Amino acid sequence: MKQTSAVSRSFTWSLLGTGLPFLLGFVTIPRVVAGLGMERFGLLTLVWTAIGYFGLFDFGLGRALTQQVAGRLAKTGRLVRADVLPGLKLVGVFGVLGALVMWGLSWYYIQFVLHLPLGMVEEALRASAWASFSIPLVTLGSGLRGILEGKEEFGKAGWLRGLLGGLNFGLPWLLVVLGLGHLVPMVLSLVLARLVVVAWNAWWLRSLWKAERQEDVVEEQTSKSLFQFGAWMTLSNVVGPFMVAADRFFVASAVGAGLLAYYTVPQDAVLRLLVIPAAWATVWFPRFSGLATTASPKEFRKQLWQGLRWVAVVMGVLCLGLGVFAGPLLSLWLDTGFAKNASGIAQILLVGIFFNALAHIPLAALQASGRVALTAKLHVLELLLFVPALLWALDVAGLWGAAWVWTARTVFDCVFLLGFSVKNHDGSKL
């Protein structure tokens, strides 16, 4: 009971840290749009997207640090600086590299791809240059948060995640209220938000920096293992989300922009549900890391099914309820004509969302056990099967065909991840 309560509290913090900023954005974005104007706000959304995308330059090392810290604590009960410094050095170096790449690409994009009014080009260039400064803070923040999550300090990690999201939406709103509705101050506020969160995170880990530096001789070996873990994790992080949302680009080219909304609107809506299993998997990841180090196969399997049961019940109820009332809900939200065309597609996608949600738990179990190469290879295989199947289904059955193929991929992913997660490295069942 005590363990269940701790997991529930951790999940609540993780979910709040992810979900509350979205609510704040819902309130503040209209005022920011009015203050900036559509063109500048469009550029601000591109900056938000670019900062999020170039966060991939942590190369999965944030999750690698979570896995390493949880495993070390489960095995020895203590943590020293040498356990985390190699990973933090790597994310720092990769962050600087990401900043240089982002600056170069954004300069080219603004100069030769975007067709901006002449007076806005200089403003956009200065804003993008400042945005590039945030990338080392993004990667370093990912590493520091990974350490907190490895220590299962989800209250602190959730608070920092929520603080960052709140500042990302709240500071632009404050600048508009103060009459500073220009792109450069907006971007500087985003850099400041990252700096505040990184500093706060580092302060919360101050006892670790003061700990005795023992076992520094293993830094090179630790760096190598972290990089290998992070490289495979990055491949999964690129391919996995691509398959979740990139189908809409194929749909648009096949059926045209006029029908695209009947697919993308219900898909965007149901994808929001994945914040729940994602938060749950975040909580279970360090637990699986510790279990992989110390627990028996039987105990590992017991914990796996415990995590899976909760997702199955919660997401099953949500998906079933939304599926039954998809038509009335879409009619209430948009209109009856839209609901008539989109409700069936939403119902198919909700089946896929259920299996995608279930897959979060075995995926976390496999990656926490160090089997990131396996999950990355599985995702690449799925991609190779998914794209031609999607193109065929679009040609044969249009939007409904795309929805069924998307759902079939999530079932395939869930079944194989679950099957692999109940086997250990020598193939015996857990």
Q: Work out the angle at residue 284's Cα, subtended by the Cα atoms of residues 281 and 286, and round it to the nearest 5 degrees.
A: 120
How far is residue 205 from each of residues 148, 192, 200, 201, measured CA to CA in Å? Answer: 8, 20, 9, 7
Residue 172 class from Cβ within 10 Å (0-12 exposed, 13-18 middle, 19+ buried)? buried
In angstroms, rounded to a whole number, what is the distance separating the alpha carbons of residues 87 and 143? 7
pLDDT for 228 equals: 66
Q: Which two tokens stand for residue 205?
A: 């880990």
Q: Residue 235: its pLDDT value, please?
A: 73
Whole-prediction pTM: 0.67
Tens of each residue's pLDDT in the chain, 430 residues: 445 555 556 566 556 666 677 677 767 877 887 888 877 877 887 787 778 777 777 667 777 787 778 777 877 777 778 778 888 888 888 889 989 998 998 898 888 877 778 778 888 899 999 999 999 999 999 889 888 888 878 778 878 888 888 898 889 999 999 988 788 999 999 999 999 999 999 999 888 877 555 544 445 445 556 666 666 666 776 677 667 666 776 776 677 656 777 887 788 778 878 888 888 887 777 778 777 777 677 888 888 888 899 899 999 999 999 999 999 988 887 778 888 888 999 999 999 999 999 999 998 888 877 787 888 888 889 889 998 999 999 889 888 999 999 999 999 999 999 988 877 544 444 4
For residue 423, what are the β-bridge partners? 429
